[in-house]
Amino acid sequence: MKSLFSREQVDDNGSFQEHHRLREQHVEEFGFNLAPRSLTAQTDDGLNAFITSVGQERLQELATGEASGGMPPQVLPMAESELEQNLDLAIDSLISYFKSGQFGEFECPFKDYKKQPIVCRYAAFLPPNNVPIKRVLHFCNGRTESLLKNLQTVYALRELRGAGLALVMMDHPGQGFSSRYLRDPFKGFARDFDELIKAQKIFESIIRPQLIKHNQSLGYESGFTYRVGGHSMGSGVATRLLQEYPNLADDWLFMSPMHDIETPFDLKIDQFGILEQIAARILKFIDILDRDFDYVPGSKPGYSPNRLPTKENSGINKVTTSSLQTILINKISERYPGLTLGAPTIVWFKESITECQKMRNKAGILREAIASGKHLTVLRPTGEQIVGKKGQDQLYELVGEGMKVIDVDGEPKPQHEILIESPQIQHQAFKWLAEFAWGDGSLVASGPRTLEWV
């Protein structure tokens, strides 16, 4: 049997080694490596950043709850004018607030190219020390993303955090702050999606006891609801996580979900997915030839910044129609180059097709989850160009009426990243995420809706 890491990855200019070095530097900056398998202690600077962002009086009001007659927690995104006025200063503020979280890392039971355990890094944004945790939102990132992609989301939900929301998330194996599988750190790789699923389950088993301990220290016995949300590949991983561990969470939200992969074989005439199955077999043959961790044909090696959308072609970016958000994400990548990731590999592509097939094959588990009282909701942008739609529709038809599907619309048509879209789309996405996390786990809409309806 061939070894997964049997082929050498050529690096003529030393960029691979520099990328790995920079990532470890970023890990040290945030302190992930200071508390293996547990959270770092809250620093004074971090706590002060949290208090300042919300205000001491407002935090006191949030801590007493709505029963006292105070205003319920609000979603408060950073204003677009603040971003436009001085983008670098805005990023400084977002990073400063992000550092008000607590960080940790853990080793996974699978290995990298050096035969060392993959190390995953995670972050938790907990309520103040005197406020019990009432809700937990476990959020799964998409492909290529690091925790810093969620800077604006974490900041926008700060009042919910003050009222008792714990927002927890980790970087998938092989991306972000987590260690890489391959010597070439730019390659989007997944040896087996089961490893991504297992890493999320390990994370849950590490973080949940710490959250329980927080409440026990306050004598709070009511417990908390635990909800899982995901974006893109993170939604695919979350779906498979639900199918493998149905009792892990109370409710589930899938944003721009990888419930299908856009391929050249997604033709209307292929109603039964025959061409897709042939493509999967071709990819397995490539695996036998030991070419599985080449880039997907047509992809450029290394990392490339996102292209700016234009007025004439707002969808050219395929990620967001917002030039400002594109520049912001590119600037964050410039600041933290050791977190960047490039195009997917052939084996990632093959595994993603296989996982989407598994989702449909195990659709009955999703029906059972709904029947047991769990809410399953999908938010998908109408301008989507990255994940496929045909397989999505097949999955939702197999699951049945209990799965809520909300088509997020606007002008221009929102692209894949609704959390980093134009303000109208982004702020509504924040509100939906907050409603999911803080409410009863359901979103009141079902079926196609537009922003005008909300």
DSSP 381-414: ETT--SB-SHHHHHHHHHH-TTSEEEEE--SSPP
Lowest-pLDDT range of 76-80, 157-161, 278-282: 278-282
Average pLDDT over residues 404-420: 95
Please tell me which residue, 402 or 278, carries the higher pLDDT value.
402
State the average pLDDT over residues 77-87. Answer: 96
> Which range has the top average pLDDT, 4-13, 79-88, 385-394?
79-88
What does the pLDDT read at residue 146? 97
Alpha carbons 9 and 7: distance in angstroms, whole number = 7
Distance CA 289, CA 379 (A): 39
Residue 451, pLDDT > 50, answer no
pLDDT digits (tens, 9 = 90+) for 169-184: 999 999 999 999 999 9
- Per the listing, tokens 């290394």 go with 302
Beta bridge partners of 406: 379
What is the structure's pLDDT at 253? 98
- Report the predicted TM-score, pTM, of the whole model to 2 decimal places: 0.92
> Distance between CA 427 and CA 414 in Å, rounded?
13
| pLDDT at residue number 443 | 84
Nearest Cα to Cα of residue 425 among 383, 376, 388, 378:
383
Predicted confidence at residue 71, as pLDDT, reads 84
Q: How far apart are CA 251 and CA 160, in angstroms?
A: 18
Domain-by-domain residue ranges, the chain? 15-438
pLDDT band at 384 (very low <50, low <70, confident <90, very high): very high
What was the pLDDT predicted at 437? Answer: 96
pLDDT at 82: 95
118, HSE (Cβ side, Cα atoms, 13 Å): 28
pLDDT value of residue 2: 40
Residue 182, phi-psi category: left (phi > 0), alpha (psi -120 to 50), beta (remainder): beta
Residues in contact with 75: Cβ distance below 8 Å, sequence separation at least 6, in sequence order: 156, 157, 159, 160, 427, 430, 431, 434
Of all residues in the chain, the percent with pLDDT exceeding 70 is 88
Query: Parallel, antiparallel, or unpaired for β 165-170 and 135-140?
Result: parallel
Q: Which of 10-14, 248-252, 349-353 has the highest mean pLDDT?
A: 248-252
Tell me: the pLDDT tens digits for 242-300? 999 999 999 999 999 999 987 654 444 455 555 555 555 555 555 544 556 788 888 89
Sheet containing 225-231: order of strands: 102-111, 117-125, 165-170, 135-140, 225-231, 251-255, 376-381, 404-408
- Give the DSSP letter of residue 14: S
DSSP 243-256: HH-TTS-SEEEEES
Classify residue 44 as exposed, middle or buried by CB count within 10 Å of its CB (0-12, 13-18, 19+): exposed
Task: Give me the long-range contacts of 425-431 (CB less than 8 A, separation at least 24).
Answer: 425/381, 425/451, 426/77, 426/152, 426/322, 426/325, 427/75, 427/77, 428/454, 429/255, 429/379, 430/75, 430/77, 430/153, 430/156, 430/157, 431/75
Contact assessment for residue 241 and residue 201, using Cβ atoms and an 8 Å cutoff: yes
State the Cα–Cα distance between residues 168 and 206, nearest whole angstrom. 11
Q: What is the pLDDT of residues 189-235, one digit of tens each?
A: 998 999 999 999 999 999 999 999 999 999 998 999 999 999 999 99
> Who wins on pLDDT, 333 or 272?
333
Residue 76 in this model has a pLDDT that exceeds 70: yes
Residue 448, pLDDT score:
42
Is 60 exceeded by the pLDDT of residue 86?
Answer: yes
Judge whether residue 120 has pLDDT over 90: yes
Three-class HEC string of 283-328: HHHHHHCCCCCCECCCCCCCCCCCCCCCCCCCCCCCCCCCHHHHHH
Higher pLDDT, 230 or 453: 230
User: Residue 135 pLDDT more than 50?
Assistant: yes
Determine the Cα angle at 71 with ends 58 and 252, to 5°. 100
Q: Please name the residue that has the structure tokens 């989007």.
A: 188
Q: Which architecture does CATH list for 15-438?
A: 3-Layer(aba) Sandwich (3.40)
The two tokens of residue 239 are 């779906």
Peptide bond into 412 cis (omega under 30): yes
Q: How far is the C-alpha of 164 from the C-alpha of 219, rounded, in Å? A: 15
Query: Is 95's pLDDT higher than 90?
Result: yes
Confidence check: pLDDT of 81 > 80: yes
Q: What is the pLDDT of residue 284?
A: 57
pLDDT over 50 at 450, yes or no: no
